[in-house]
Amino acid sequence: MAISKTTRLVDLHIAYPASGNAIMGGTILDTWDDPDDAELPVSKKRKFSADLNTDFSVYPQEVQDIAAVLYPA
């Protein structure tokens, strides 16, 4: 069987600094698994910080949805 990767949003925070532009940050958990491999699953957390100029297409759908509200076109 093939290795599968799942990505989920663990936490998210939004800050409004004095500049007035919202900044979003949080933690994403990536997990790789193969039921036929005894050494898997393996998980890795990654933190992110994003603002108005960020390409949100690389983030999970939940982050993209929230970014669409924070940073309307």
Domain membership of residue 53 as a residue range = 4-70
Query: What tens digit of pLDDT does each residue of 28-58 get?
Result: 999 999 999 999 999 999 999 999 899 999 9
Domain count, the chain: 1
- DSSP assignment letter at 22: -
Predicted structure pTM score:
0.80
Determine if residue 30 is left, alpha or beta; phi over 0 gives left, psi from -120 to 50 gives alpha, anything else beta: beta
Is 80 exceeded by the pLDDT of residue 1? no
**CB contact at 8 A, 8 and 26:** no
**CB contact at 8 A, 28 and 60:** yes
